[in-house]
């Protein structure tokens, strides 16, 4: 875990900007999915449930994808001769 945090601290600033923007977008999608799931709680429409859960899972997947790709791209840029 310390290795991941140390890699995230040493990422290039241009890659870090893209990571922050992507995290903000994913956080907004997570808020929208939470709102949709709260609507399901009051309306009890199964379509709202499936949309909310799908959006929630997709947002979490993209967050993990952003972290992995930012570390990978930074490592590739640093290893380049």
Domain ranges of the chain: 20-75
The tokens of 32 are what? Answer: 């929208």
Model pLDDT for residues 41-79, shown as the tens digit of each residue:
899 899 999 999 999 999 999 999 999 999 999 989 988
Can you spell out the DSSP letters for 15-71?
A: HHHHHHHHHHHHHHHHHHHHHHHHHHHHH--HHHHHHHHHHHHHHHHHHHHHHHHHH
Q: pTM here? A: 0.85
Task: Characterize 21-50 residue by residue with b for buried, 16 or more Cβ atoms within 10 angstroms of its Cβ, and e for exposed.
Answer: ebeeebeebbeebeebbeebeeeeeeebbe
Q: Given this model, what pLDDT does residue 49 score?
A: 94
Are the beta carbons of 67 and 22 closer than 8 angstroms?
no
């Amino acid at each position: 875990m310390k290795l991941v945090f140390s890699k995230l601290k040493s990422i290039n600033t241009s890659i870090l900007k893209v990571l922050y923007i992507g995290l903000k977008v994913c956080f907004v999608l997570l808020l929208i999915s939470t709102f949709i799931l709260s609507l399901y709680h009051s309306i009890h429409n199964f379509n709202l449930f499936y949309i909310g859960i799908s959006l929630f899972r997709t947002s979490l997947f993209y967050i993990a994808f952003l972290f992995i790709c930012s570390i990978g791209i930074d490592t590739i840029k640093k290893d380049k001769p």
